[in-house]
Amino acid sequence: HSTSKKMVERTEQDFRDLTFILAKKTLTELGGRLNHIYFRMMRTKWASLSSRRNLTINRLMRHLPDHLLSYVIFHEVVHLKEKRHNDKFWKRISKKFDDYQELEKDLFVYWFQVVKRIQ
């Protein structure tokens, strides 16, 4: 577990295409439906899900490796079933990502690398 992570270089369009593919795959897997997917710069988080089922993706996620992009999308889609980060939520997460605690740490490290890069 290193403190420096390799950032991914992908175009905005490739990032959007991959996000839609991963979201569709996750929705098929978990059930549920999203109203819309938005892409914008966010100051404090990678993504969020609104009560109206709108998924907002931080545009900085385009620098994350595929497995973390997949994890963040899965994490947000689980919120369609479980609103809070309670035991039921993390149990659903761990069914697909048993290493979710490590992934959360990686996201934390990436956050500072990506933000530093764009400043």
Model confidence band, residue 16 (pLDDT cutoffs 50, 70, 90): very high
pLDDT score of 1 more than 60: no
Cβ burial of 29 (10 Å; 0-12, 13-18, 19+) is exposed
The pLDDT assigned to 31 comes to: 93
Residue 71 lies in a domain: yes
Mean local confidence (pLDDT), 103-111? 96
pLDDT in tens, 46-83: 999 999 999 999 999 999 999 999 999 999 999 999 99
- Give me the CATH number covering residue 107: 3.30.2010.10
Residue 38 lies in a domain: yes
The answer to the question of residue 67 being in a domain is yes
Q: In the structure, what pLDDT confidence band is assigned to residue 99 with cuts at 50, 70 and 90?
A: very high
Q: Can you read off the two tokens belonging to residue 117?
A: 């890069």
Question: pLDDT grade, residue 118 (50/70/90)?
Answer: confident
Q: Is the pLDDT of residue 4 over 80?
A: no
Residue 7 forms part of a structural domain: no
Report pLDDT for 35: 98
Domain limits at 92?
A: 12-118
Q: How many domains does the chain have?
A: 1
Q: Is residue 68 part of a domain?
A: yes
Q: Tell me if 24 is assigned to some domain.
A: yes
Task: Measure the CA–CA gap between 5 and 110, rounded to whole angstroms.
Answer: 6
Per-residue pLDDT at 59: 97
Q: Is residue 4, in this structure, part of any structural domain at all? A: no
Distance CA 119, CA 106 (A): 20
Confidence of residue 119 (pLDDT cuts 50, 70, 90): low
Residue 5 included in any domain = no
